[in-house]
Amino acid sequence: MKIIGSVKELRQAIKAEKLQAKSVGFVPTMGFLHEGHLSLVRAAKENNDIVVVSIFVNPTQFGENEDLDAYPRDLEGDQAKLVGEGVDILFYPTVEEMYPQGYSTYVDVEGDMTGVLCGSSRPGHFRGVATVVTKLFNMVAPDRAYFGQKDAQQVSVIERMVKDLNMDLEIVPCPIHREADGLAMSSRNTYLSEKERKDALVLSASLFEAKDKILAGETSAEKIISGIVDKISTVDYAIIDYVEIVDALSLERIDTLKGTILIALAVKVGKPRLIDNLRLEV
């Protein structure tokens, strides 16, 4: 596996592969890799000649009071995992390489899509995401890029951006990878104490319970949301950021459950703010 820190070197390496008509699969990450990330890498391996993974903790997508400095990092461990998966190139740039002195250009996906869910509680977050992903796409020039449904709103925003800006690549959404007990895998799970780790199960459990109710015929978003809120509230120190039900395509809030819906939540369990969601055909 080549480990590359400079954009120039990355371009040269990818150009050489493309000259041999090789297709490029790309998995952008912030590192501290777990099985969720690796499931994206495996999907990329399956359908492309070479796989590029980036590890970059992107400062522009973190708010002022968020965990940028504390974000977990383990380059050595990540490298070993990526070598194990047969990744061809690891792009690991510095902040200065990505945002050199004088950097001034940002990509904003406007409108309702970024005004709900994480967009409303993390102002500027998706501007940072859209900007860094655009830059990475320009550097890697992938045929396909792989994103996890764990960050469902991110997938929608990136798909919108790719369409709006006529970017020439395919976005491949991949299912949420969960621990055996249901907790959605996340680099931030490492912040959880043993007790919080157990209590955090209430997030996925409340979504699975909601699914059962909907499959049994419940069509009121309000009732489903209040069921989820009640269940999460059994953990007295959990702080709910949002529990929302939206149309999975437009991300518009809905009152009556029909079509493809997305039930999404963000909850602070001790130190970390965790997100989870469930997509469902009603």
When CB distances to ligand AMP are compared, the closest residue is 148
Interacting residue with ligand AMP among 54, 156, 186, 206 (CB under 6 A): 186
**Residues binding ligand AMP: number (CB under 6 A):** 17
Q: How far apart are CA 66 and CA 70, in angstroms?
A: 9
DSSP E strands, the chain: 2-4, 24-29, 50-55, 89-91, 144-148, 170-174, 239-247, 260-268, 273-281
Which of 34, 37, 125, 177 is an active site residue?
A: 37
37 is catalytic: yes
45 binds ligand AMP (CB under 6 A): no
187 binds ligand AMP (CB under 6 A): yes
Helices 201-215 and 221-232 cross at an angle (nearest 10°) of 150
Q: Amino acid identity of 247?
A: D
Give the three-class secondary structure for 115. coil
82 binds ligand AMP (CB under 6 A): no
40 binds ligand AMP (CB under 6 A): yes
184 binds ligand AMP (CB under 6 A): yes
Judged by CB, which is closer to ligand AMP: 69, or 255? 69
CA 6 vs CA 19, 29, 76: distances in Å: 20, 17, 19
Give the range of 72-80, 131-139, 145-153, 243-251 binding ligand AMP by CB under 6 A.
145-153
**Cα dihedral 94→174→151→198 (10° resolution):** -100
- Lookup: tokens for 106: 């940002």
Judged by CB, which is closer to ligand AMP: 124, or 227? 124
Residue 149 CB, shortest distance to ligand AMP, in Å, is: 7
Q: How far apart are CA 280 and CA 247, in angstroms?
A: 10
Residues marked active site are found at: 37
Residues that bind ligand AMP (CB under 6 A): 29-30, 36-37, 39-40, 147-148, 150-151, 174, 176-177, 184-187
